[in-house]
Structure 1
Amino acid sequence: MKAEIRHHHTALHVADLERSARFYADGLGLIRSEAWTSGSYIGELFGRPGVKVRALLLTTPDGTFQLELVQVEDPPTAINPTEAQPGTAHLAFTGVDVRKVFAEMTALGYGALSEPVKPDSGPNAGGLLIYLLDPDGNRVELIQAPDWQDRDTP
């Protein structure tokens, strides 16, 4: 019987573990789950013998998504992920009031590539989208579906 592939986690390499954790946990509401420092295997896995890594696992409140923040000792030179260069990626979350989260995150001092936009094509047409920037410039997309309603609103 063939095993079915499943998502385990998504990882981001960050310059400062705690600074990034504040963005994702304190800002976006992910939950800190587990932190650790790597064992000796990580140098072999990363192809950098002797390298040390600190990591923190965060989860969405419903536990369906895990984000691992990874801080590598003496990291190589970073690229600019804000420009959507090949080799970069972005995270996308839904189930939020995009305008409200955008206002909260910018009030906390985090950047965005634009104000929230209303797509006129594709699967999110009629909804709202925003690309926030985490402390390392990684793009974090927030998606508000056209039929979205705040669960807290009666």
Structure 2
Amino acid sequence: MTHRLLSVAIATAFLSFAPVSGFATASPAPAVDVRGVDHVGINVPDVEAASRFFADTFGFVPVTEMRDIPVDAGFRRTFHMHDDAKVKSIRMLRAGDGANIELFQYDSPHASREQPFYDDIGASHIALYTDDIDKAVASLRAKGIKVLTDPIRMTQGPAAGNTWVYFLTPWGSKMELVSYPQGQAGEAAAGVRLWRAPVKAGPVSLDRTVVDEVVTHYVAMLNDTNADNRAKTIDRYYTDDTVFNDPEGLIEGKRGLNDLVGKLQAANRGFRFRLVGPATIQNGSVRVKWTFGPVAQPAKISGEDILTLADGKIASTIVFLDPAPQDKARSNP
């Protein structure tokens, strides 16, 4: 009941907004020709955990990453950073058909760990568009994610047609879900169309038999110490422009993948990859849980790979490593 009353109060407050029709009038050419918003940057306490949250919850895909970036005192002054701050990681995520999201992780003992108040000048948020906001909210709540209210539906005024709701990420940042499949009333008065999602293709159907075959040869290739044999498997089960994205960097193409696996094996002699349960199919992707280690310690390293398939071949691979035991101990004193 409290959520419903709050939703009504907030929605009513927005009804007094007038269409900003003046924004649509002719104006001088802009000083900078901007094509759109490329990315939004946010600070997170743990890039790996944040990436997994965005991948598991929304299907966002990590693309590039820079680690342990050297910055000097002059750089810190220019960018208004604490004197002892270190840049641990910057990772870019592809976020559906909208702007990219850039995650920053710092090692900065004097940086605030508190979330800003909603009305602070430095506060900001990201809104994610979804076609079915009620289904999305139910999914968030089922995953234990805190949703601040029920969806707030705008029925009058220029924002009529818009439905929105805020939720909290695991690290406490506010984010928003929005949905206005029929547009918003104020668009016509302003003469400007707000963002629209491209027409969405139907869900990708992955055949279980094909998935099992691909995953079996995927793991076999990772364990094959013969480069020529690996090349044959890669040629059969990977696309020509396949992308392999793991914490060490981004590898493109079949040859680069074969070289990477060879280096991994050389650095970890006697280690083998082992599947943990069957692969799962989710949102058109294949999720493969694994362990990696020697016979005496088969689960020394563990993680999960997310594969996307195209015509029965692996088009991309994203590797997520589970925290090492010592890292878990540090995060749970």
Q: Scaled by the length of structure 2, what TM-score is found?
A: 0.40
Cα distance change, pair 121–85 in 1 and its aligned pair in 2 (3 A): farther
**Residues 69 and 86 in structure 2, CA contact (< 8 A), matched pair in contact too:** no
Q: What percentage of residue pairs aligned between the two structures are identical?
A: 25
1:108 to 127, 143, 158: 143
Q: What residue in structure 1 maps to residue 105 of structure 2?
A: 71
Q: 1:22 Cα shift?
A: 2.4
**Residues 127 and 144 in structure 1, CA contact (< 8 A), matched pair in contact too:** yes
Q: 1:87 Cα shift?
A: 1.1
Q: 1:98 Cα shift?
A: 0.9
Distance 2:158 2:177 in 1: 14
Q: Scaled by the length of structure 1, what TM-score is found?
A: 0.79
1:21 to 51, 72, 81: 51
Cα distance change, pair 19–121 in 1 and its aligned pair in 2 (3 A): farther
1:142 to 156, 162, 177: 177
Q: Give 5+ residue unaligned stretches, structure 1.
A: none
Deviation readout 1:31-71 (Å, 9 max, x if unpaired): 21112214213761543356232121111233x41101111
Distance 1:33 1:136 in 2: 22
Q: Give 5+ residue unaligned stretches, structure 2.
A: 1-30, 184-198, 204-333
**Residues 81 and 137 in structure 1, CA contact (< 8 A), matched pair in contact too:** no
Distance 2:174 2:157 in 1: 19
Distance 1:123 1:29 in 2: 32
Cα distance change, pair 97–124 in 1 and its aligned pair in 2 (3 A): farther
2:66 to 26, 36, 57: 36
**Residues 130 and 178 in structure 2, CA contact (< 8 A), matched pair in contact too:** yes
Cα distance change, pair 74–133 in 1 and its aligned pair in 2 (3 A): same
Q: What residue in structure 2 maps to residue 4 of structure 1?
A: 33
1:43-122 to 2 correspondences below 5 Å: 44-45=75-76, 46=79, 47=81, 48=83, 51-62=86-97, 64-75=98-109, 76-81=111-116, 83-121=118-156
Q: CA RMSD in A?
A: 2.8
Aligned pairs, number: 150
Which has the greater radius of gyration?
2
Identify the structure with the greater helix proportion: 2
Distance 1:136 1:122 in 2: 35
